[in-house]
Amino acid sequence: MTTSILTRHTVSTTQFHSILGTGAAPRANSEVLTDPATGRAWGTVTWDEDTVDLAVENAVAARRAGDWASLTAMQRADVLDRIGLGIAEHVDEIAQYETLANGKPIAATRAEVAVSARWWQYGAALLRTLRDARIQMSATKDATVTHEPLGVVALVTPFNGAFSLGVWKLAPALAAGNSVIIKPPINSPASTTVLLRIARDAGIPDGVLQIVQGGTEVGQRLVEHPDVDMVSFTGSTGAARRVGAAVSGRLGHFVAEAGGKSAHVVFEDASVTDAVTAVVQGGFSATGQTCVAGSRVLVHSGIAGEFTAALLERVARLRLGDPADPGTHLGPLVSGQQAERIRSLIDQAQADGAEVLAGGSDVPELPAPFDGGYWMSPTVLKVASNSVDICQTELFGPVLTLIEFDSEEEAIAIANDSDFGLAAGCWTTDMSRARRFGQRVGAGTVWLNTYRGMDWQTPFGGVKQSGIGRENGIEGLREFQQTKSIVQDFAPAADPFGLA
């Protein structure tokens, strides 16, 4: 692995900025980029709200020029394939930037970046195989159902996966023929910058793909812009509501993947070893900073003692430390503010009667240079009821709450007792029960005897307060297209008024 990016003892002078199709991006404001593992600066990002107007103007011009949208599906597919190949050549660089930005362990970021090439290959495959539908309406009349690009699309990506979750959006958006403006999170400008460079080298025309850097002000101006036809957003439920209100006010198209509070259910007939493995992976991957984290762990009372003992033994062996070390399991939280928020929720849970079985709100001690980072120990709480705040609030941290249940009906009721509906999972050897669970739990994705398995072919998204629309699969491509029916009648025109 190269060490030019993941250095822990020097302050980088690297600067990131917006990249437009034509013209220089204004740089009136700047913000220091901080490594969450050390608290030290590693670069700066510059931004300006006026960049949004320039980017949209370029995107509109690119849409009208048609240099991308007018290509055949096969031609666009070739470009997408080249982007996938380009990513494969830059896995280490991109992964290191992601680790620097959000603290996710390098083993995880490498895997995420490497597999992201499959999204581009899948998009190319769809372009080569999907065809317009022809509907025979009568002996002389038929209709062609076609799918066209929406136009100018804005993609707003989250801090916990600026690159990988950005690819989920960008690959289908470009496959559909749109002009795209992507706004990465302010703390993670680098990996998207590399992606843009790869895309342009692969043949994406100027103006078809642009980056606007910045924080909330830039994002708000982008999603409110009247010439943006569609917004795809990943972030908190509160932010999704605000973005959705702005987009719907002009009848724009909106897709959002928002918060989650997923239930991970272990029935009495489950393999405890397999269930513990999945619960640890589902709850502590990325230090719990994932939307699908299985943070509510529901365990049948008949095996609660055995399961809890096995879980705590496994949690005690998790390695917390340098995210640049391939052997690290848990890195830091993304910011000091996030760490304090979660500690406060743990303290409140204890006041509400929760029992701390592992971890807790105390700050773990790490050696220099990591003593300045934003650390939190993997935490397991036992709670008496799903109604306490910590079971109803998305934490985005390494915290599991254990809740016991006595019956299938009770487990499903608890799983559904949430404002969120992004994902859920269960462990059982009874396949009929597994099927019932999958059908009755209100979530966009339900995993049966597995957890966190996601694929470029499988639609992903939430119900209730977890979002609207879908990413991935054919459904994910269609979100970036508008459907048109073209009807043709080969018979002479009928005269219903008898005037001809």
Q: Which residue has the tokens 């995420």?
A: 112
57, 104, 224, 291: which one is catalytic? Answer: 291
Give the pLDDT mean for 243-249: 96
* 336 vs 64: CA distance, rounded Å: 45
* 464 vs 446: CA distance, rounded Å: 15
Percentage of the chain lying above the pLDDT 70 cut:
97
Give the pLDDT mean for 323-338: 96
Vertex 455: Cα angle to 252 and 83 (nearest 5): 75
Tokens of 157: 């990506």
Give the pLDDT mean for 9-24: 74
**Residues 191-237 pLDDT 10s:** 999 999 999 999 999 899 999 999 999 999 999 999 999 999 999 99
Q: Are 199 and 83 in contact (CB under 8 A)?
A: yes
The domain made up of 15-258+466-485 has a fold known as: Aldehyde Dehydrogenase; Chain A, domain 1 (3.40.605)
Look up 57 and say whether it is catalytic. no
pLDDT beyond 70 at 11: no
* 66 vs 450: CA distance, rounded Å: 44
Q: Are 374 and 340 in contact (CB under 8 A)?
A: no
The DSSP secondary structure of 284-338, one letter per residue, reads: HGGGG-STT---EEEEETTTHHHHHHHHHHHHHTPPBS-TTSTT-SB---S-HHH
| Domain covering 263-448 in this structure, CATH number | 3.40.309.10
Angle between helices 50-65 and 216-224 in degrees, nearest 10? 40
Q: Work out the pLDDT band at 443, boundaries 50, 70, 90.
A: very high
Q: Where are the domains of the chain?
A: 15-258+466-485, 263-448
Cross-strand partners of 421? 463
Q: Work out the pLDDT band at 494, boundaries 50, 70, 90.
A: confident
3-state secondary structure at position 278:
helix
Tell how many helices (H) and how many strands (E) occur in the chain. Answer: 15, 21
The pTM (predicted TM-score) of the whole model is 0.95
Sequence-distant (≥ 6) Cβ neighbours of residue 147 within 8 angstroms: 130, 132, 176, 478, 481, 482, 483, 484
Look up 404 and say whether it is catalytic. no
Look up 291 and say whether it is catalytic. yes
Domain 15-258+466-485 identical in fold to domain 263-448: no
98, 104, 169, 391: which one is catalytic? Answer: 169
Q: Are 46 and 30 in contact (CB under 8 A)?
A: yes
Task: Find, among 151, 150, 218, 217, the residue nearest to 183 by Cα.
Answer: 218
pLDDT beyond 90 at 14: no
Q: How far is CA 71 from CA 61, 177, 204, 319, in A?
A: 16, 8, 11, 50
Q: Work out the pLDDT band at 9, boundaries 50, 70, 90.
A: very low
Task: Find, among 102, 100, 41, 39, the residue nearest to 287 by Cα.
Answer: 102
Residue type, 27: R
Q: Are 127 and 74 in contact (CB under 8 A)?
A: yes
Give the pLDDT mean for 133-157: 97
Q: What share of the chain is helix, strand, coil (3-state, %, to 5)?
A: 40, 20, 40
Q: Are 319 and 328 in contact (CB under 8 A)?
A: yes
Give the pLDDT mean for 56-67: 96
**Residues 276-320 pLDDT 10s:** 999 999 999 999 999 999 999 999 999 999 999 999 999 999 999
112, 268, 471, 479: which one is catalytic? Answer: 471
Tokens of 476: 């994910």
**Residues 401-421 pLDDT 10s:** 999 999 999 999 999 999 999
Q: Where are the beta strands (DSSP E) in 321-452?
A: 355-358, 379-382, 399-405, 420-421, 423-427, 445-448
- Dmax of the chain from CA atoms? 92
- The DSSP code for 483 is E
57, 98, 257, 404: which one is catalytic? Answer: 257
State phi, psi for 163 to the nearest 5 degrees. -80, -60
Look up 49 and say whether it is catalytic. no
